[in-house]
Amino acid sequence: MILPALSTDQMREVDRLMVEHFGIQLLPTMENAGRNLALLARQLLSDDDDDEDALQDRPIVVLAGRGNNGGGGLAAARHLLNWGAWVQIVLTHLPTDLPPGAMKDQLSILQKMGAPLAWAEEGWELPPADLVVDALIGYGISGDPRGRSADLIQLANSSVAPILSLDAPSGLDSNSGQLHVPHVSATATMTLALPKRGLLQPAARAACGQLFLADIGVPPSLYDYLDMDLPPLFAMNTVLPLQFQDGSFSLEE
């Protein structure tokens, strides 16, 4: 099945319609993204589908920015901790620098759990890990990453661990496909709701690695407002592998 690819403006419209028309607030959407990201992380670390101990004491580093993408990463970190992984969470900003909202709510839960939290500082290095989760910058990127986000992108790329990116590798413009400097070179990327237009570009596809599509709870009828007629995509699974076919993305048969 060939899938439409969304522009940044269309994805913003999806987000707006979710809240304003359907009454689906950001926190459950973020929770869906985080849980599916954790499920995919478990899948990537598992030797087989029945590996019940795939996450037990496995070291995972989650890099989180201050926006909604970072909130999805924090939700994933919580699930991974609950499932037995050893998770080190590294944030670009201190809690006092975060605006009120769903992302800060996710952080508050982790603080109450006593989760391992750290903040990017000069000279800081990533601990050894079996997987690095990139949740630094979402689809709204504008220009080259700066400051601590840039530092953590470079640290992620220098790690020998595979990188799993949320929605798009940080530093990749998911609308145009432009690769900013620096940008994450991911092993796998889990994009949300529908593929993004910029991910169709060859350089962007290379930066994404293996591409997956995840459910965040968008009602199929929402796409009617974008003149798109889509069936329920996630009836069988909430995380689906994508393949590139004739200049478009399609669900794997």
Tell me the average confidence (pLDDT) per consecutive run of 10 residues in the chain, 253 residues long: 94 97 97 98 83 88 96 98 97 92 96 94 85 94 92 96 98 96 98 97 96 98 96 96 92 73
Query: What pLDDT sits at residue 133?
Result: 98
Query: What pLDDT sits at residue 121?
Result: 79
In contact, 167 and 194? CB cutoff 8 Å: no
Query: What pLDDT sits at residue 48?
Result: 64
Cα–Cα distances (Å) from 239 to 25, 126, 128, 211, in that order, read: 21, 28, 27, 10
Query: What pLDDT sits at residue 41?
Result: 98
- CA 144, CA 34: separation in Å to the nearest integer? 25
Helix-helix angle 26-45:68-82, to 10 degrees: 50
The Cα angle at residue 92 between residues 88 and 93, in degrees rounded to 5: 110
Query: What pLDDT sits at residue 142?
Result: 83
Query: What pLDDT sits at residue 124?
Result: 78
Query: What pLDDT sits at residue 201?
Result: 95
The reply to whether the predicted model has a pTM over 0.75 is: yes
Specify whether domain 2-44+56-251 bears CATH 3.40.50.10260.
yes
Query: What pLDDT sits at residue 120?
Result: 81
The amino acid that residue 191 corresponds to is T
- CA 106, CA 119: separation in Å to the nearest integer? 16
- Rg, Å, the chain Cα set: 17
Q: DSSP class of residue 79?
A: H
In contact, 26 and 102? CB cutoff 8 Å: yes
Phi-psi region of 189 (alpha: psi -120 to 50; beta: other; left: phi over 0): beta
Q: Where are the domains of the chain?
A: 2-44+56-251
Query: What pLDDT sits at residue 170?
Result: 98
